[in-house]
Structure formats: structure tokens, C-alpha cells
Structure 1
Amino acid sequence: MAILSRIIWGAQTVVIYSTLATLTAYLIGLCFGLIAGYAGRRTDAVLSFLANVVLSFPVLVLYIVIIVVIGASPLNIVIAVTFSSAPAIFRIVRAITIDVASRDFVKAAITQGESTWRILFVDILPNTTGPLAVDFCLRLGYTAITIGTLGFLGLGLPPPTPDWGGMVNEGRAMAIAFPHLVIFPCIAISTLTLGLSLLADGLREVNDVKERQ
């Protein structure tokens, strides 16, 4: 019963912090991606260079380095995930923005004298929601796995906060005698990730149907 209570409470922890970290990363990546994709030239070059610098580091190593430097806490984990994920989101948004900005309705908006911010957030942004919704679901699953991995390595949410990865780490010493201590948290992580992947597949199919129409 204690294991079930910790898994249920840990689900709340994982979902809250994974969602918060992913939303924060999307907010930053979305804003800078729109600016880089629309502004072009020097702004695009500078922002793309900074994103490529961050992306040049292995993601898990970058997470570990950030957590070791600033410490393990809910806020710091959100900061680490945001810093590591935002550049990848930036590149996706930038590519979509460049494609949408070349379409006739955007050129018409420019001709009519609409402001840059209106063009970005009214004309371009709504046309990015389909692909970004799919990526958001997948990235949310990756973030949940990352938080679990950090917890397993002892760099996750500090006690007494329930953490699925931390539960696996705590139970591995007794895994032979009490395998459920490890199996159930692993099943929880796998179920969450699988569910988000299936949701992403469903959203991708819906997006494909809309594009055909």
C-alpha cells in the first residue's frame, strides 16, 4: 500500500514539474524561434549560433552538469530542463516560421502595414500549432524520463518528495527480494511515456488530415 501511495503521489510530482518545465522551454523557444525565423540575417545568425552551442553538448550530460552546479531542487530541475530543451524547440519554430513567412497571406499582411508583433502572433503563430502540439507531447514524455533519470542518479527531486526515478534507485538494492519496489515505478514511467507517444501519434494523424484538406 505504501508503494502505491508513493507512486500515485509521485505521478502528481512528475506531471506537474514535467509540464511546467516543458511549457517554460516552449515559451522561450517559441518566442526566439519566431523572431529568428521572421527577422532573418544577423538576428537569426546570432540566435541560431547560441542554440547550436547548447545543442552541441549531450543532453543528459548537460542536465547533470547544470544540476550539480546549481543544486537539486524542483525549481532548478525546471531551469535545467528549460535551458536544455529550449534550443531544440527554437530550431523547430524557426524552421516553421521561415516556411510560413514566405506564404502569400503573410506578404499581404506586410503590404497592409501590419505590425511585426501582429504578424508573428496572429498570422504566423496559429499555423505552427499542429506540429508543435505533436512535439510538445513527445517532449513532455522525454522530460518525464529525464526527471526519472536524474532521480535514479540521485540528482532528482530532494526527499521527501516522491520521485519515480528515486524510488527505483532506493529499491534496486532490494530488487532481488522485493522486485515490486523497482518494477512498479518503472511501469509508471513507461505507461506515462507510452501514453504521451500515442497521443502524439493521434495528433500527428489529425494534423495530416487537416493539411490534406
Structure 2
Amino acid sequence: MPLSDRSLALFDTPAPEFGQPLPQKPSADMLEALFFRRSASAPTLRAPGPSPEEMDLLIRLGLRVPDHGKIGPWRLVRFTPQSKTALVEKLKPLAVSQPEPAKALAALQKLAIPPEALLVVSSPLQPHKIPLWEQQLSAAAVCQTLLIAAGALGYGANWITDWYSYDAVAKALLGLAEHENVAGFIYLGTPSEAPLERDRPNFNERISYWTAGD
């Protein structure tokens, strides 16, 4: 779906300056997008994927997340089609050593098929006055914001962690330091089929009201 002229203008919009007022504006389009938000199955993601300019915009939007202490406890890794293919080939021998080799090899298709991918790395500062959990939550917020932004650009996206996110050798291949973890791979492309709605948590079962008690 083509972007509006207003959306396209974001590609050339400079980032807001520090201290600049940022009035909050109501957006029915945003509410509708969130209401119908649905991850697309990674193997259904085909070309075209986001252009280099769209990838730049996605990252700019993805980094505008809550970040207690303004410490940026995350980083992103980009892949070219060639480097993503090379990573898959390097991971194949490691898949054989997993508890379920066939399943581990099949999981690599989620990495191989989508035309574009971003790796969000949780890179917390430790020791630090900001609790580790809050820093990890900020990295998760980057992943979720990337999903929403990709949908706003008209693409399908999936946030995945698989065995290669936790295997020590695989993490070393990805260039992660000892204190770092994979917050998520974000796979991007055009869905070859529309994702179907899934079961959702029951609203009333998940909500309670706090009371002061007696």
C-alpha cells in the first residue's frame, strides 16, 4: 500500500532537537493499526522488503523508546542479503548439535526466507543504578516498536528468538559480548498470505483493580 505524502516526508525529516516541544496528537490511524496488529509468519515474508531508506526510518523510529536513565542499553545489527545467507550457512553445523537437529535446521528457514532482518541486542550497562530488568525491557520496547513501524510502512514483520539466539557459539558468531543477549530478530518483508487472527487473552481475566483494603 503506497505511503501518503505526509508519511514519505518523514524520510527527510530531521530528528527532533533536545528540549524541543513534542505535542501529542490524536491518531485514529494509529489506534486502528494497533487494534488489528498481527505478526506475519516469517516463512511467508517475501520480497519486496523495506528499501534502504525505509530501513533507516524503521531504525530511527525503533530507537524512540522509553529508556530510563537515557543510557541506550541496546544496539541493532543490520544484515545484507549476502551476510544473512552467510550466517545461515555458518549456523547449519551448529543446528546439527542441537537436541532436536531436524527442528533446529528447519528453524533456520525463518532466518533464510525473509528478505530483510534486524537483530536487536540487549546490551545492558552493568553495574548501573538503572535495574537490569528495566534495561532489558527497553530493548524489548525496541523490538515492539519496530513491529509497529513496519506495519505502518505496509510490511509484514515477525519478532523471533530461536535456538540461535541462546546458543553460546551462535551468539559469538553474531558478535555478542558476554554481557549481551538477543532481544529479538525482526524479520521483514511482504506477506505472501494475510496472517490470520490468533487467540487473544480474555480481557476480563487479565484486569484487576487495586484497592486500599480495610
Question: TM-score w.r.t. structure 2 length?
Answer: 0.24
Task: From the two aligned structures, give the one with the greater strand fraction.
Answer: 2
Task: From the two aligned structures, give the one with the greater helix fraction.
Answer: 1
Larger Rg: 1
Question: TM-score w.r.t. structure 1 length?
Answer: 0.24
Higher relative contact order (CA 8 A, sep 6+): 2
